[in-house]
Amino acid sequence: MTIVEKVRALLGEGAVLEEGTDRVPRIAPGSPDAVALLLGTAHQEGWRVRIEGAGTWLQSDAPADLALTTRRLDRIPAIEPQDLTATAEAGIGLDQLRQQLADRGAWLGVDPPGLAGRTLGSVVASATAGPLRQGFGPVKDHLLGVTFVTGDGRMVQSGGRVMKNVAGYDLTRLQAGGFGAFGVVVLVHLRLRALPRADVTHLLEGSREDLTQCAEDIAAAGLTPAALELISPALARRERWVLAVRLAGSPALVAADETGLGAATGGGGRFTPLRAEEAHAFWMRHAEGFAVRPVTFRLGAVPAASDEMLDLLQHQVGDEWVSASPAVGAIRWTGEATIDRLHRLRRTLAGLEVPLTLERAPWPVRTAVGHFGAYREGVGPLVAGLRRTFDPGNALVVATDSE
Amino acid sequence: MNGLAGDLGAIVGERHVRVARAERATYAMDGLPTHRRLPDVVVLPGTREEVIAVVRLLAAHGAAMVPRGAGTGLSGGALAGEGAVLVVLTRLNRIVRVDPQNRLAVVEPGVVNARLSAAARPHGLHYAPDPSSQTACTIGGNVAENAGGPHCLKYGVTANHILALEVVLANGRTVELGSPGGEPGGGGPDLVGLFVGSEGNFGIATRITVRLTPLPRAVRTLLADFMSLRTAGEGVSAIIAAGIVPAALEMMDQSCIQAVEDSVYAAGYPRDAAAVLLVELDGHDGAAVTAEADGVTALLKQAGARSIRTAADEAERERLWQGRKKAFGAMGRLSRDLVVQDAVVPRSALPDVLETIAGIAARHRLVVSNVFHAGDGNLHPNISFDATDDDLRARVEQASGEIMAACIAAGGTITGEHGVGLDKLRYMPLVFDAESLGAMHAVRRVFDPHERVNPGKVVPVHACREWARVRSAGWGVRSISGDSAPRTPHAALSRIP
């Protein structure tokens, strides 16, 4: 009996999708319980499973006996505008989620890189925050709790649906950015914000040096932008570097920040506002730009080191496709890079206490370089222990550490 | 333990080891009066090297240990019983570095919360999490409990402010987790996030890198009073639903108001009010903050506020806040003991849950005063009682359980910032199933395989599903809710040809 036949017997005909080009069976469980049943079976049968969402972000190329896609886990069981919370299944596309939240006057302050239909589970598992990290924090700060299924089919709840929660260990934070190494996230409880009543974007073009100084001035002036992003010309589709400032919130706060922004200049230039549809298109293109080229990674530096990091990237891998949040020290790069080059870059960065997290790359690169790379002394055994705990049969195909 | 005490004395100096019963009794409780445990030995290391040496010695002896900060916790989490050594970290109280350019600081675990903010203030920065005990509690304790505070509504709890940790594991080895930029990266997955709130079960943090936050340039503090708890709760919901995020949104009920007003912390709260809301708005622009304050004022009036007062100056603001922050102390006037409960509910459930709590108090003939972080839905029902009265103690226990059950029934949880410790162990199975508790237990064993660090806390082991062995084949039977999924027992696979 083949894997597909066994899965059909377990989950029904509807769970088996068409194979991808790599001939790996693609299974789409229709409920969290079905995910648990599938992974429990995989564990017992010794099947290797790769995890997929909508297939728009991480390359679907990890060698596996089957691909588990969360795309049929696309329900939103609860949106509570009064409490500013929501519960959504992991396979819901962010575009659909955003729309349904907006219909209820609610908003998720996360704008990850990738296509609009990227799944919520993918964003959580890879902890890929976008420019809104400046104002609203990393992905983990938007999570109240998750339910996940371990590699051997156990369903685990962590956190809850309320604003504060210290009951038990925070396994939610382990899942955020765990790349699926500790289980498959199936349900997410989200912290929301009210849909901003004012949301404007201003752009300033100039030299990287001038715009970096301008970003520093804005931070020092105490303005509270939702996003403050320094973007390379190619990524911004402009002639020169761009400093993009997004202000979102109450009209009074946004107006105050716009006044403050008026005083900020970069090399003599002035910020120009975008119309609402222009701003939407600008940020969408920015996000999509990271899903096109084969390799994307992020750096987490201290703010004062942002400029130095951009210099380093320019020297080692080029800075054609790069975007930085200088006030928080987060930098995202995309392009083509060899395994050796990534190893070298990561070694250099490690000496500066700056982690490089590989977000997406073809499997040969992922498995050689790893999402996290080499661990610091003493951390490796902890991560290995956690992996054994949550995936004792090593069923989940995830390239966390380097070879 | 005498030999062990001598060895500990050789590491930290004899005067930093407590073996006399009277000395140990000082450490037998934390801020919660319902739990008492006498440690066998108390040791106070003064440096990270001493911590490492102490932990290695205890590992060699196979001795249990309990890390402790200032002992201001409210869950019995930092109590060490028979056979355990209490490792008190208050001597590790150095602020290693304040880095204003990158808005971070590196501190030892025994640094008092308010002292860190004081050190950051000349740079226009502060450490945002501000528990009511901030003038005494330590950053290490805050990390262990994932402490909150009134201003966490806007600025987030401790977990949102910890960038990196140096941790001494149960075996005495040190690991560095996280990075100054806040990205886990070379530390692997987010082990900092996992460690924060682990209540000492995963080891001892000896060096903590925290994020500092700019001091707001403009602040408006409002005091609104209401003639019913329900309307005050509705006022909270109105503010949240309007998308306004105050820096703090605190509520006190009449019992609490009167206790404060009768004390040296009297803040001028109206004594006849059923509840007051303390609302603080802040930002960098005075006009924008004023506009938000006007919006809040309108919403609170609409919700039924009897009067709304704005602090005219910093002195008045401090007075209003003193009443709130010292409310627990003020309640000492009501009776000799106080149980400070901690639970969280969805914010929109506040009015109903507050009424339920009042009903529970009346049914058990108890005085329950509410002072809490209304904006987060984080309740603190405080039960005043006399611990020497056995009948009263029993009623307090019963009422506490009923309050927890009511909060869970409303979609909430059993603790928002005080932790599980000993006190909430019994409630953990009410919020987590055996599988999830088993997962937590298994994670704990990754960090501390012999479960020697703060044993018997957080996870009720008897309620866990065993994770050490492969589950039985029949376990796979689950209710499949998908549209086309049959209910196939996992074991049935073996019968499929």
Q: Which residues in chain B have their CB less than 8 angstroms from residue A182's CB?
A: 189
Contact partners, residue B118, CB within 8 Å, separation at least 6: none
Q: Which residue has the higher pLDDT, B34 or B121?
A: B121
CA distance linking residue B155 with residue B277, whole number of Å: 19
Complex ipTM > 0.85: yes
Question: Contact B188/A158, CB-based, under 8 Å?
Answer: no
Question: Contact B496/A377, CB-based, under 8 Å?
Answer: no
Question: Which amino acid, residue A63?
Answer: P
- Asked if A309 is an interface residue toward chain B (Cβ–Cβ < 8 A), one would say no
Contact yes or no for A182/A391 (Cβ under 8 A): yes
Specify the residue for token string 């910093």.
B314
Residue B468 reports pLDDT greater than 60: no
Contact yes or no for B95/B119 (Cβ under 8 A): yes
Of B197, B284, B412, the CB nearest to A162: B412
Residue B464 pLDDT: 85
Q: Which residues in chain A have their CB less than 8 angstroms from residue B284's CB?
A: 221-224, 256, 260
Structural domains in chain B, CATH included, are: 2-88 (3.30.43.10), 95-214 (3.30.465.10), 216-334 (3.30.70.2190)
Residue B469 reports pLDDT greater than 50: no
Contact yes or no for A351/A331 (Cβ under 8 A): no
Distance set, CA B114 to CA A371, B95, B111, B129, B133 (Å): 38, 12, 9, 10, 9
Specify the residue for token string 């064993």.
B445
Residue B485 reports pLDDT greater than 70: no
Nearest to A334 by CA among A346, A348, A347, A324: A324
Contact yes or no for A332/A323 (Cβ under 8 A): yes
SS3 content of chain A, % helix, strand, coil (to 5): 35, 25, 40
% of residues, chain B, pLDDT over 90: 85
- Asked if B209 is an interface residue toward chain A (Cβ–Cβ < 8 A), one would say no
Question: Which amino acid, residue B332?
Answer: G
Question: Which amino acid, residue B144?
Answer: A
**Distance, in angstroms, between B415 CA and closest chain A CA?**
6
3 state SS of A71: coil
CA distance linking residue B344 with residue B152, whole number of Å: 14
Residue A5 pLDDT: 94
Model confidence over B53-65: pLDDT tens digits?
999 999 999 999 9
Signed CA dihedral, A382, A388, A391, A395: sign only: positive
Query: What is the DSSP pairing of strand B218-226 with strand B162-168?
Result: unpaired
Residue A389 pLDDT: 97
Average pLDDT over all residues of chain B: 91
Contact yes or no for B147/B170 (Cβ under 8 A): no
Contact yes or no for B291/B216 (Cβ under 8 A): no
Which of A58-72, A183-197, A370-384 is predicted with the least confidence, judged by mean pLDDT? Answer: A370-384
- Asked if A196 is an interface residue toward chain B (Cβ–Cβ < 8 A), one would say yes
Residue B483 reports pLDDT greater than 90: no
Model confidence over A348-367: pLDDT tens digits?
999 998 999 999 999 999 99
Listing DSSP states for B254-284 in one string gives HHHHHHHHTSTT-----TT-SEEEEEEEEES
Residue A8 reports pLDDT greater than 60: yes
Model confidence over B246-272: pLDDT tens digits?
999 999 999 999 999 999 999 999 999
Structural domains in chain A, CATH included, are: 3-69 (3.30.43.10), 78-194 (3.30.465.10), 198-288 (3.30.70.2190), 293-361 (3.30.70)
Average pLDDT over all residues of chain A: 95
Nearest to B60 by CA among B168, B167, B170, B166: B170
CA distance linking residue A309 with residue A302, whole number of Å: 10
Which pLDDT band, with edges at 50, 70 and 90, does B467 fall under? confident
Residue B479 reports pLDDT greater than 50: no
Using the 8-state DSSP alphabet, how is residue B220 labeled?
E
Which of A147-161, A368-382, B124-138 is predicted with the least confidence, judged by mean pLDDT? Answer: A368-382
Residue A89 reports pLDDT greater than 50: yes
Residue A236 reports pLDDT greater than 50: yes
Stretch A43-70: mean pLDDT, rounded?
96
Model confidence over B287-324: pLDDT tens digits?
999 999 999 999 999 999 999 999 999 999 999 999 99
Helix (H) / strand (E) containing B223:
strand B218-226
Residue B186 pLDDT: 57
Distance set, CA A30 to CA A50, A93, A145, B257, B480 (Å): 17, 15, 21, 53, 8
In chain B, which among 435-464 make CB contacts under 8 A with chain A? 435-440, 442-444, 446-447, 458-459
Task: Name the E strands within B148-203.
Answer: 162-168, 174-178
A269 forms bridges with which residues in the sheet?
A266
CA distance linking residue B238 with residue B243, whole number of Å: 9
Model confidence over B365-393: pLDDT tens digits?
999 999 999 999 999 999 999 989 999 99
Model confidence over A258-277: pLDDT tens digits?
998 988 776 678 899 999 99
Residue A403 pLDDT: 61
